[in-house]
Structure 1
Amino acid sequence: MIIFDCDGVLVDSEILSNGIDAELMRAAGYPITAAELIRGYIGRPKAEIWAAIAEERGVAWPDGLLEKADALLLERIETELQPVAGVAEALALIPGRKAVASSSALPKLRKALARCGLLETFDPAVFSASQVARGKPAPDVFLYAARECGVAADQCLVVEDSVAGVHAGRAAGMRVLGFTGGLHSYPGHAEALIAAGAAEVVADMRDLPERVSAQLQEV
């Protein structure tokens, strides 16, 4: 079975989400850019990211700020979110069972997939870190996805764009294929995924079916 991360692999939401978060954090007095958020934090549950940065800066966020970020993102998902270029064509060429395992909350995850015309490709095998005890980089959501689908962890291949996600997949005992074809990709992205444990990295969705096929032979 192939387990896909969602944000930055299937849908180009990271660029939207981190842009909103950085703008609100700056307005609250913390100087950070979307690029810095992407490089340092993507892949983890949003609430954990905000909590970690609050701890680093030593000041709690204003009440309701995270909820405002979530609401703004949901609005922009409905009007602006696009699938990663070429993803529908790539998925059509990849045979076998597929699932999604994401750090996003389940309502946002399903909304994003539906907006991009991808929900029916995976439903009902759509899983969120909100359904398990720990988010990425812990392996919980990947293990949960495999268990719910009745597939052994060592028979799963993960497709991930984040260091946290790669760590999670490897901790679950799964082989991981890195992906850097999203709009949020940054200099050194591929090298970071390899260093985290990805078997290889794909930079273009058009190359994904061939590389998935090759990696599945190693599973």
Structure 2
Amino acid sequence: MLLIFDCDGVLVDSETLACQIDADILSGLGLPYTVDDITREFVGKSMKDMIARIEADHACTLPEDLSERINTALYQRFETELQPIDGVREAILALPYPRCVASSSVPERIALSLRVTGLADLFENVFSATQVAHGKPAPDLFLFAAERMGADPKDCLVIEDSTAGVQAAIAAGMRVIGFTGGSHCGPNHAQKLLQAGATALIERMEELPETILR
């Protein structure tokens, strides 16, 4: 079995920071998005897809350097504030299966996130949505990761925190555990993940080994 971990909201508790920065910068451009708006609409999706959706919804053209602005602000916050999901290192080390990361974020953000939180040594194989044509909820990224890791999709188990990620895993023919322990997860998050197709749910990473091994 191959374990495929999302990064933001599963390995690192980054989504609240990221959504705040997105909302602040977009509001400064005259697009009054709140943190809740960003969380609801865009968590789990790539920056490219978020920008395309906003431009379509508002019939506007966003600045060409918007991604750079957001990432610059985000990376500065990550260096001093980003934390790993509680217990995730111990949970990963308790599992005897090959593993990789498949994230909607750009490679630079993934690498920074893993370095700052002390998780980089756990993952030799890291895949980004920038390597495929379509980001989550399309299955492309998970199928790409499975192919590169030499695994059959039916033998893959995905750990995801977003509905887009769960939908992508299901579309790829993979089982998926929904994680609801990130700081961005509201009271209805578990239900949303179940509705998206999650085959199991965990609220704490210490539950992961038992959930997989039982």
Do the structures match in fold with TM over 0.5?
yes
Question: Any conservation in 2 of the 1:39–1:186 contact (CA below 8 Å)?
Answer: no
Q: CA deviation at 1:59?
A: 2.0
Q: Does 1:34 align with 2:35?
A: yes
Paired residue secondary structure (1:170): helix
Q: What TM-score, normalized by structure 1, do the two folds share? A: 0.93
Distance (whole Å) between structure 2 residues aligned to residue 198 and residue 212 of structure 1: 13
Corresponding residue for 1:159? Answer: 159
**Residue number in structure 1 paired with 2:67:** 66
**Aligned counterpart, 1:88:** 89
Task: Report the Cα offset of residue 66 of structure 1.
Answer: 2.8
Match of 2:101, SS state, is strand
Q: CA deviation at 1:187?
A: 2.4
Structure 1: 5+ residue stretches without partners: 215-219
Q: What's the CA shift for 1:179?
A: 0.4
Q: CA deviation at 1:110?
A: 1.2
Question: Once superposed, which parts of structure 1, at least 4 consecutive aligned residues long, lie more than 4 Å away?
Answer: none
Q: What CA distance in whole angstroms lies between the structure 2 residues aligned with 1:109 and 1:195?
A: 28
Q: Deviations over 1:168-211 (max 9, x none)?
A: 10111100110011111112111111001000211111211111
What amino acid is the match of 2:179? F
Contact 1:181 1:203 in 2 (8 A): yes
Question: Residue by residue, what CA displacement relative to the aligned partner does 1:66-120 show, whole Å, maximum 9, x if unpaired?
Answer: 3201111111122211101111111121221111100001111111111111111
**1:63 Cα offset (Å):** 4.2
In the aligned structure 2, how far is the partner of 1:97 from the partner of 1:161? 20
Assess if the C-alpha contact under 8 Å between 1:166 and 1:198 holds in 2: yes
Letter in 2 for 1:196: A
- Please tell me whether residue 143 in structure 1 is matched to residue 143 in structure 2: yes
- Between the aligned partners of 2:178 and 2:114, the Cα distance in structure 1 is 20
Secondary structure of the residue that 2:10 maps to in structure 1? coil
Cα separation, 1, equivalents of 2:50 and 2:64: 16
How far, CA to CA, are the matches of 2:191 and 2:37 in structure 1?
17
| Two-structure CA RMSD over aligned residues (Å) | 1.2
Q: Distance in 1 between matches of 2:7 and 2:164?
A: 13
What TM-score, normalized by structure 2, do the two folds share? 0.95
CA distance in structure 1 between the aligned counterparts of 2:27 and 2:213, rounded to whole angstroms: 44
Match of 2:182 in 1: 182
Number of residues paired by the alignment? 213
| Unmatched tracts of structure 2, length 5 or more | none
What secondary structure is seen at the aligned counterpart in 2 of 1:159? Answer: strand
2:13 paired with 1:12: yes
Give 1:217's aligned residue: none
Q: What is the percentage of aligned positions where both structures have the same residue?
A: 46
Secondary structure of the equivalent of 2:170? Answer: helix
* 1:115 match: 116
Task: Check whether the contact 1:81–1:115 (CA below 8 A) recurs between aligned residues.
Answer: yes
